[in-house]
Amino acid sequence: MRKLKVYLDTSVISHLLQEDVPEKMADTRQLWEMFKAGKYDVYLSTVTLEEIADCPEPNRSELRKYLEQIKYTILKITDEVEAVAYKIVKMGVLTQKSYDDCQHIAAAVVEECNCIVSWNFKHMVKIKTINGVRAIANLSGYKPIDILSPTVLLESEE
């Protein structure tokens, strides 16, 4: 059976250290164990790596150590990705202010990942975004994609 192609946005990686939300941190660490075991094909983009690079120390170094524990593929922000990100803004799914989120979504759509995993409920893991991204993917000839929280991905394993 083929592994699910899972795109991680930066919020998932940063929640490995979010002690102020212990239940989210626990779910993220549980999911991380599955990544370490190779249960999924993990993808991140250069946007993710740039956002981690912008974290203050010591978090930046700790997050990089976590990334060293798993295998992942880095997706570049190509012209095709930019075109999809632009559509996300143009169609009113997200605003220009959330352009990094548009790039995360677009990279996952273009790579034809099965799902995007995020703790970003403000912009990404919400019905308007999910439906809008599905419509854009469909109209643009890409596979449908799900946007889930780590908790929902864990529940799908039960």
Structural domain total, the chain: 1
Contacts of 68 (CB under 8 A, 6+ apart): none
Over the stretch 87-97, which tens digit does the pLDDT of each residue have? 999 999 999 99
User: What pLDDT sits at residue 48?
Assistant: 95
Cα–Cα dist 65/124, whole Å: 26
- The CATH number linked to 120 is 3.40.50.1010
Range of the domain at 74: 5-155
Residue of 148, 40, 48 whose CA lies nearest to 103: 48
User: Strand, coil or helix: what is 72?
Assistant: strand
Q: What is the DSSP code (8-state) at residue 20?
A: T
Task: Please provide the average confidence, as pLDDT, over all residues in the chain.
Answer: 95
Residue of 13, 93, 70 whose CA lies nearest to 47: 13
